[in-house]
Amino acid sequence: MKKPCITLAITAALFTAPVFANPQQMDPNMPGMAGMHEATPADVQGVGVVKAVDTTKGTLTLQHEAIAAIGWPAMTMPFKVASPELLTHVKVGDKVQFTFHQASTGSTVTAIRPAR
């Protein structure tokens, strides 16, 4: 009489799986979508871990979490900084909350602060 137990286990797995399949909820309002073709870049907020800091080039590499507002998945990428002074507050391994602007020339971080 093993079969009913297995069936129950499979049924339970099928009903449980979708709950874990989508851990990062998309923002249903998608505020970034409406403004996608605007000439003026909007502030975008992100959270990530500092992977590299280049004070010579004025760039910061961040392993950021998904940013639903602009439809970005989680990734590691370089950002320019609006002011070299921003780089004096961060070091590799820091978890940070950051604000940036998106432009055709790249993304520029305008604010950065520690996150938990």
Q: Which residues of this chain interact with Cu ion, rule CB under 5 A? A: 72, 75, 77
CB 96, min distance to Cu ion, A: 14
Q: Looking at beta carbons only, is 62 or 87 nearer to Cu ion?
A: 62
Q: Which is nearer to Cu ion, 8 or 54 (CB)?
A: 54
With tokens 């907020």, the residue in question is: 45
Residue number with CB closer to Cu ion (5 or 24): 24
- In whole angstroms, how close is the CB of 39 to Cu ion at the nearest point? 21
- Spell out a b/e string for 75-99, using b for 16 or more CB atoms within 10 Å of the CB, else e: eeeebbbbeeebbeebeeebebebe
- Smallest gap from residue 102 Cβ to Cu ion (A): 10
CA distance 110 to 112: 7
Distance, C-alpha 103 to centroid of its chain: 17
Nearer to Cu ion, 52 or 75 (CB): 75
Read off the DSSP letter of residue 28. T
Q: How far is the CB of 75 from Cu ion (least distance, A)?
A: 4
User: Rounded to an integer, what distance in angstroms lies between the CA atom of residue 12 and that of residue 19?
Assistant: 12
